[in-house]
């Protein structure tokens, strides 16, 4: 039996038999989420995800889904590492701890490896839920990987300035066109791809206004293809947008890369050392000059005092 068939049978068993797993629904959320968990530790992870979804689920859905769209229920499987690898090892790199399956009705988390490999159950859960909503919103249309991963990174709050800096200092950031398909399986290269994708989604919203993601996805579904929908929603072809983004990355962050390249860094450090040395020499000379002036002033005062002591005697004697 293939992993996909085993997974289908496993999910069916979870849904139909209450004795296999514990289910808990995140109430008052959009879309609704049902958790199927393994073990007490899995249940604790599901509770964390349930709380964050109750707080942020509706806002995330509004950012991704077209206005008025009603999403389907998402089943979240919270699994042991053994079970997670059995069903998803063929889909993920060895460092993956979460997955969302098209058409966006099932996601899965490896709760045992989350504390070691992942940033936390809530972060991975929100990341995968963003994927699920994008799958549902796009329908049969395939969205570029950079859009999927950039939206998911932003939804999970997976951004720090050091992430941007790490992309820049890694050398030449990947072009957006190279991120339309599967990401590299190596963790370091994949992380550069993820972070560049996040920058691209931020750039998309900056250039075309808030809600650009949902407009692009909705238009892509209407057109039946991403390119036509993107052009309709933004007035740019995907190629034009990618070219503008790549150029903006070079213009905005190229100086950082220039400064921190080894030859330039060596020259800059030498220049700073020289400036510091010259400044120290100037300060020392000023200090010596001030000391000399003080010494001369002190000598003059001593001379005046000696003249007064040796002057003519006072009158009044006989």
Rounded CA-CA distance 115/224 in Å is 40
Q: What is the pLDDT of residues 70-121, one digit of tens each?
A: 889 999 999 999 999 999 988 888 889 999 999 999 999 999 999 887 678 9
What distances in angstroms separate CA 110 from CA 4, 233, 279, one per listed residue? 17, 37, 58
Structural domains in the chain, sorted by start: 1-139 (3.40.30), 156-261 (no CATH)
Looking at residue 275, its pLDDT comes to 74
Q: Where are the extended beta strands (E) located within the chain?
A: 22-26, 33-37, 74-79, 98-101, 106-110
From 269, 266, 260, 262, select the one nearest 167 (Cα to Cα). Answer: 260
Summarised one tens digit per residue, pLDDT across range 229-285 is: 999 999 999 999 999 999 988 776 544 444 444 444 444 455 566 676 667 666 766
pLDDT tens by residue, 8-35: 555 554 443 333 344 445 544 467 999 9
Q: Contact at 8 Å (CB) between 77 and 106?
A: yes
- Report which of 31, 32, 30, 128 is spatially closest to residue 79, judged by C-alpha positions: 128
Residue 231 burial (CB count, 10 A) = 20
Q: Residue 212's CB: how many other CB atoms inside 10 A?
A: 18
Alpha helices, DSSP H, located in 25-155: 39-64, 81-88, 114-117, 121-138, 145-155
The answer to whether the beta carbons of residues 179 and 143 sit under 8 Å apart is: no
- Mean pLDDT, range 191-211, rounded to an integer: 93
Residue 42 has pLDDT above 90, yes or no: yes
pLDDT tens for 170-179 read: 666 799 999 9
75-112 per-residue burial string, b: 16 or more CB within 10 A, e: under 16 = bbbbbbeebbbebbeeebeeebbbbbbeebbbbbbbbb
Provide Rg for the chain, Cα atoms: 33
Residue 67 has pLDDT above 60, yes or no: yes
Task: Provide the 8-state DSSP code for 312.
Answer: P
Which ranges constitute the DSSP H helices of 17-89? 39-64, 81-88
Tokens representing 222 are 């209407």
Positive or negative CA dihedral for 153, 156, 157, 159?
negative
User: In angstroms, rounded to a whole number, what is the distance separating the alpha carbons of residues 276 and 279?
Assistant: 5
Of the candidates 59, 48, 111, which has an alpha carbon nearest to the alpha carbon of residue 85? 111
């Amino acid at each position: 039996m293939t992993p996909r068939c085993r997974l289908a049978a496993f999910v069916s068993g979870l849904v139909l038999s209450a004795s296999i797993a514990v289910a808990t629904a995140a109430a008052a959320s959009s879309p609704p989420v049902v958790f199927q968990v393994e073990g007490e530790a899995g249940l604790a992870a599901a509770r964390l995800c349930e709380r964050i979804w109750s707080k942020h689920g509706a806002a995330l859905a509004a950012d991704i889904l077209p206005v008025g769209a009603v999403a389907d229920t998402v089943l979240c499987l919270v699994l042991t590492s053994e079970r997670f690898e059995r069903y998803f090892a063929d889909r993920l790199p060895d460092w993956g701890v979460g997955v969302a399956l098209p058409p966006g009705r099932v996601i899965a988390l490896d709760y045992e490896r989350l504390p070691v490999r992942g940033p936390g159950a809530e972060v991975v859960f929100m990341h995968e839920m963003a994927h699920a909503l994008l799958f549902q919103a796009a329908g049969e249309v395939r969205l570029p990987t950079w859009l999927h991963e950039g939206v998911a990174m932003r939804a999970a709050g997976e951004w720090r300035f050091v992430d941007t800096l790490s992309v820049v200092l890694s050398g030449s950031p990947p072009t957006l066109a190279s991120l339309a398909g599967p990401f590299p399986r190596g963790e370091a290269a994949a992380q550069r791809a993820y972070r560049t994708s996040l920058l691209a989604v931020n750039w998309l919203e900056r250039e075309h206004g808030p809600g650009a993601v949902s407009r692009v996805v909705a238009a892509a579904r209407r057109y039946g293809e991403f390119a036509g929908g993107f052009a309709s929603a933004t007035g740019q072809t995907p190629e034009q947008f990618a070219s503008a983004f790549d150029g903006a990355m070079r213009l905005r962050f190229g100086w950082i890369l220039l400064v921190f390249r080894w030859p330039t860094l060596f020259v800059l450090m030498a220049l700073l050392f020289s400036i510091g040395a010259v400044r120290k020499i100037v300060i020392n000379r000023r200090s010596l000059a001030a000391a000399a002036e003080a010494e001369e002033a002190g000598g003059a005062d001593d001379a005046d005092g000696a003249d007064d002591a040796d002057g003519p005697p006072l009158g009044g004697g006989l």
